[in-house]
């Protein structure tokens, strides 16, 4: 149920005169971001996401939730976004490596408005491996990361820092950052060893704002200065910054962005839950955010009931919102069934020239670990004493999508849908063949066919979600990017370690 999604066509994000939701670990997930936008925030940052974890993710278009999900190999959704925040969501990453940062930025750039590098968080979650505020002592690495991102992606690049021990040092660092070409710099007005109980240093932020021409975003005013909407402008004026970024004040009550005045926390929590259910938010994340809003009420009988809840349904029961949960769940299930029915109807084999085609998408989560359609097709071919399947893969230059054709018993099979990876394209082609022939494919819940017996493998070679070790006897293939005007399918055979290409 994945489709090619058009690149974000919203105009380049501006960081001047904006009220912004700050990046907050475990808080800045989709429901909180959407709620902040509803209340008046101009820009929202997601929680910091570590580059190593994001680099392993697959981009999935979730047609049921109508979201774009970045899914880790363990099926955990690391980052979820939707059209409602399009053009206003900034992806923040934790990184200490320019090339890895670029790989992640390229993965998400079409689905976000800008990319931010965390250079200010002092917590171990961020500083281990040289990320977060640890970068403040390595300006050369800061320059390398930001320069690589600015040159490598089409979207604006920003960073968020903490102040250094002196105004002079802070200004010097920010001037170096400005030269990398960033679109804005967020400055938390505390040093990395200071905590919320320490006063925010507005004079440092003011000095930074006066020393550079790029927008400076003031951060750190929650509690000290910003308690209600009118205080946002006070903080802006006291720092001379272009924009203001709120963390704790928004975490406690995101309606602080509401120009007409804040709503009651109880109403805000109900509206938060509505989004959490609608977008199938992780229940433990939902509960965490609600507990932050409860603050001193978290130890009350009501707070303890919330803390005991284990699912979004149980959370809704605590808040008397069971009817909303049931209605929303029914709507999502109806959409899922409709999409499945549509998909099933469309999966009718057709003959195009000499190729059997079908619109099939490979969904890795539908198959057990180490079981793939390619494995089933290979085993069936062996059982029938046929030559093993041969895959021909091509790649479109315009969107780098992949499409494979599998040749079995001198017949060709291909999915009409383009995949984001070569491996998934080959799996889709195998599925077309298996379904055309009416063969088992190994899906979860499918009756055991006895066609494939699990073979022993080296665990070190099976850590990837789909590493094809189960087909280690098949000929290895190589894919080349094809010209946009003239796409040519290439087959590469590896013989004695030397690659020989045959154009077809």
Residue with tokens 């990046």: 23
Q: CA 129 to CA 104: how far, in whole Å?
A: 17
pLDDT at 336: 81
Q: CA 120 to CA 127: how far, in whole Å?
A: 9
Q: CA 347 to CA 402: how far, in whole Å?
A: 19
pLDDT at 451: 65
Residues 6 or more apart whose CB falls under 8 angstroms from that of 279 comprise 30, 31, 34, 65, 67, 80, 82
Please choose, from the candidates 31, 79, 78, 89, the residue with its C-alpha nearest in 3D space to the C-alpha of residue 293. Answer: 31
The two beta strands, 498-503 and 490-495, are: antiparallel
pLDDT at 493: 29
Least confident stretch, 21-30, 93-102, 473-482: 473-482
pLDDT beyond 60 at 383:
yes
pLDDT digits (tens, 9 = 90+) for 413-439: 999 988 889 999 999 999 999 999 999
Q: CA 271 to CA 293: how far, in whole Å?
A: 12
pLDDT at 435: 93
pLDDT beyond 70 at 459:
no
Positions marked active-site: 121
pTM confidence score: 0.71
pLDDT at 466: 41
Residue with tokens 């993965």: 107
User: What value does the mean pLDDT take over residues 179-183?
Assistant: 98
pLDDT beyond 80 at 472:
no
CB 256 within 8 A of CB 226: yes
pLDDT at 364: 87
Q: SS3 of 50, please?
A: strand
What DSSP line would sit under 151-192, residue for residue? HH-SS-EEEEEE--SSHHHHHHHHHHHHTTT-SEEEEESS-T
Question: Hey, CA dihedral for 311, 314, 319, 322, is it positive or negative?
Answer: positive
Q: CA 208 to CA 416: how far, in whole Å?
A: 54
pLDDT-based confidence at residue 73 (cuts at 50, 70, 90): confident
pLDDT digits (tens, 9 = 90+) for 298-310: 999 999 999 999 9
Q: What is the CA radius of gyration of the chain?
A: 26
CATH of 350-452+466-503, one of 2.40.30.10, 3.10.129.10, 3.30.160.20, 3.30.110.40: 3.30.160.20
pLDDT beyond 90 at 84:
yes
pLDDT at 454: 46
Backbone angles phi, psi at 390, to 5 degrees: -120, 135
Residues 6 or more apart whose CB falls under 8 angstroms from that of 138 comprise 130
Least confident stretch, 22-36, 114-128, 184-198, 317-331: 114-128
Instruction: List the helix and strand counts (H, then E) for the chain.
Output: 16, 20
CB 158 within 8 A of CB 15: yes
Q: SS3 of 39, please?
A: helix
Please choose, from the candidates 475, 371, 460, 479, the residue with its C-alpha nearest in 3D space to the C-alpha of residue 420. Answer: 479
pLDDT digits (tens, 9 = 90+) for 262-299: 999 999 999 999 999 999 999 999 999 999 999 999 99
pLDDT beyond 80 at 374:
yes
- For residue 469, the surrounding DSSP H or E stretch is none
pLDDT beyond 70 at 465:
no
Backbone angles phi, psi at 258, to 5 degrees: -80, 115
pLDDT at 446: 77
**Mean pLDDT value across the chain:** 87
Please choose, from the candidates 237, 239, 316, the residue with its C-alpha nearest in 3D space to the C-alpha of residue 274. Answer: 316
C-beta atoms surrounding 324 within 10 Å? 16
Q: SS3 of 91, please?
A: strand
pLDDT beyond 50 at 491:
no
Q: CA 248 to CA 414: how far, in whole Å?
A: 52
pLDDT beyond 70 at 344:
no
Please choose, from the candidates 94, 170, 184, 92, the residue with its C-alpha nearest in 3D space to the C-alpha of residue 132. Answer: 94
C-alpha distances (whole Å) from 142 to each of 91, 130, 421 are 18, 11, 31
pLDDT at 343: 62
pLDDT at 370: 83
pLDDT digits (tens, 9 = 90+) for 129-168: 899 999 999 999 999 999 999 999 999 999 999 999 999 9
User: What value does the mean pLDDT take over residues 239-262?
Assistant: 98
pLDDT-based confidence at residue 399 (cuts at 50, 70, 90): low
Question: Where is pLDDT greater, at 102 or 74?
Answer: 102
Backbone angles phi, psi at 173, to 5 degrees: -65, -45
Q: Which two tokens stand for residue 79?
A: 């980052």
Q: CA 47 to CA 58: how far, in whole Å?
A: 18
pLDDT at 394: 93
Q: CA 482 to CA 12: how far, in whole Å?
A: 30
pLDDT beyond 60 at 6:
no
pLDDT beyond 90 at 322:
yes
pLDDT-based confidence at residue 345 (cuts at 50, 70, 90): low
Please choose, from the candidates 419, 415, 383, 380, the residue with its C-alpha nearest in 3D space to the C-alpha of residue 399. Answer: 419
CATH homologous superfamily for the domain 19-262: Aldolase class I (3.20.20.70)
In degrees, rounded to 5, the angle at the alpha carbon of residue 122 between the alpha carbons of residues 295 and 55 is: 100
Domain residues of the chain, as ranges?
19-262, 264-346, 350-452+466-503
pLDDT at 448: 67
CB 56 within 8 A of CB 100: no
User: What value does the mean pLDDT take over residues 15-24?
Assistant: 98
Classify residue 226 by its DSSP letter: B
pLDDT at 338: 82
Please choose, from the candidates 222, 218, 184, the residue with its C-alpha nearest in 3D space to the C-alpha of residue 204. Answer: 218
């Amino acid at each position: 149920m994945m489709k090619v999604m058009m690149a974000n066509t919203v105009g380049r994000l501006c960081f001047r005169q904006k009220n912004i939701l700050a990046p907050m670990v475990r808080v800045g997930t989709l429901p909180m971001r959407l709620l902040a936008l509803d209340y008046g925030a101009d820009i929202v940052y997601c929680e910091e996401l570590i580059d190593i974890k994001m680099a392993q993710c697959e981009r999935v278009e979730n047609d049921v939730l109508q979201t774009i999900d970045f899914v880790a190999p363990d099926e955990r959704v690391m980052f979820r976004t939707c059209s409602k925040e399009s053009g206003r969501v900034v992806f923040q990453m934790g990184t200490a490596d320019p090339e890895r940062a670029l790989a992640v930025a390229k993965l998400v750039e079409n689905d976000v408005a800008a990319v931010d590098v965390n250079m200010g968080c002092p917590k171990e979650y961020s500083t281990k491996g040289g990320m977060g505020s640890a970068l403040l002592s390595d300006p050369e690495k800061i320059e390398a990361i930001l320069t690589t991102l600015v040159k490598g992606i089409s979207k604006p690049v920003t960073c968020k820092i903490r102040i250094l021990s002196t105004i002079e040092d802070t200004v010097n660092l920010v001037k170096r950052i400005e030269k990398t070409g960033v679109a804005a710099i967020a400055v938390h007005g505390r040093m990395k060893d200071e905590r919320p109980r320490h006063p925010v240093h507005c004079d440092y932020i003011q000095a930074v704002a006066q020393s550079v021409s790029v927008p400076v975003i003031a951060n750190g005013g929650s509690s000290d200065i910003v308690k209600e909407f009118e205080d946002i402008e006070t903080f802006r004026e006291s720092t001379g910054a272009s924009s203001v970024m709120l963390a704790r004040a928004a975490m406690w009550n995101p309606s602080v962005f509401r120009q007409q005045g804040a709503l009651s926390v109880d109403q805000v929590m109900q509206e938060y839950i509505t989004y959490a259910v609608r977008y199938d938010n992780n229940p433990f994340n939902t509960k965490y955010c609600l507990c932050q809003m409860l603050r001193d009420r978290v130890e009350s009988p009501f707070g303890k009931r919330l803390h005991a809840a284990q699912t979004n349904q149980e959370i809704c029961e605590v808040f008397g919102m069971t009817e909303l949960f049931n209605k929303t769940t029914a709507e999502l299930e109806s959409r899922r069934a409709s999409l499945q029915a549509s998909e099933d109807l469309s999966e009718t084999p057709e003959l195009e020239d000499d190729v059997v085609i079908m619109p099939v998408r490979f969904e890795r989560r539908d198959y057990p670990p180490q079981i793939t359609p390619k494995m089933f097709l290979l085993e069936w071919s062996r059982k029938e004493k046929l030559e093993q399947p041969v895959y021909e893969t091509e790649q479109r230059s315009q969107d780098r999508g992949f499409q494979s054709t599998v040749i079995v018993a001198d017949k060709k099979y291909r999915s009409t849908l383009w995949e984001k990876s070569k491996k998934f394209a080959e799996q889709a082609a195998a599925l077309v063949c298996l379904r055309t022939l009416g063969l088992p494919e190994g899906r979860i819940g499918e009756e055991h066919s006895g066609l494939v017996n699990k073979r022993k493998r080296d665990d070190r070679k099976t850590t990837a979600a789909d590493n094809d070790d189960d087909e280690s006897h098949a000929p290895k293939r190589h894919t080349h990017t094809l010209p946009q005007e003239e796409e040519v399918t290439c087959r590469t055979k590896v013989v004695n370690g030397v690659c020989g290409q045959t154009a077809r």
